Amino acid sequence: MEFIIYEEQDNIAIITINRSRALNALNSNVLKELDKVLDRVNLDRIRALIITGSGDKSFVAGADISEMHKLTKAEGEVFGKRGNDVFRKLETFPIPVIAAVNGYALGGGCELAMSCDIRICSENAVFGQPETGLGITPGFGGTQRLARLISVGKAKEMIYTARNIKSEEAYRIGLVNGVYPQEELMEQALKMASNIAKNAPIAVRAAKKAINEGLDADMNSAVKIEEVLFGSCFETEDQQEGMAAFLEKRKANPFMNK
């Protein structure tokens, strides 16, 4: 692939957007490669996924304006759908996804980060949805996810004013889970991914599914979703080992994803 680097460390996968000369901006080719690389992840072996950008300046600086500026109305809708399809695929990816935001996360970059389960960032990170200053709206889910992750009023302020925010404010409003020095960011992402990976994969995936689906449902329907997924964990080998180890006051054997 030209713009995506895919690596594995034990049972953790790392996807790096590698278009550093354009600050890792998203164009159609990057989106296509991201879509393809997600299909390559071996979900029997990989238990957590980290997404980051190449270099130390930018996670993803946005969608590629040079590609977008001459789009027609119909072409704009197609481009928006392409991004939304990939980001929705990422959002509903069976395993947890951590965004390690190492610099600018603007427009499509902020939307990419918001499609991940958890966001951590470097101290030089900058977030924003600057699209209204370019004559368009956010098009890859920004109008929908930002208002679900932070307060509606703050999301509207960010989108209407096209104002960027720095890492400290992103942490204060709950857009990111943690802020770290640039040189520690990937170490912290890998540490978090390892903590996730050591738990029972079937249970972690069921928890992700329950949270995501429950957020789009009323509470009566949401708890029903949880009940079914809770029940699905029983009689798995990992559940039997985990509970046996607890009752026997010993350390559980490594979970086998069975």
- Considering 33, 67, 75, 111, which one is annotated as catalytic? 111
Q: Which of 75, 131, 168, 226 is catalytic?
A: 131
For the question of residue 111 being annotated catalytic, the response is yes
Token pair of 55, please? Answer: 């270099």
DSSP 28-48: HHHHHHHHHHHHHS-TTT--E
Nearest C-alpha neighbor of 99 from the set 179, 154, 205, 23: 179
**CA distance linking residue 49 with residue 220, whole number of Å:** 31
Per DSSP, the residues of 68-114 read HTT--HHHHHHHHHHHHHHHHHHHT-SS-EEEEE-SEEETHHHHHHH
* Residue 168 appears among annotated catalytic residues: no
Instruction: Identify the three-state secondary structure at position 116.
Output: coil
Active site residues: 111, 131
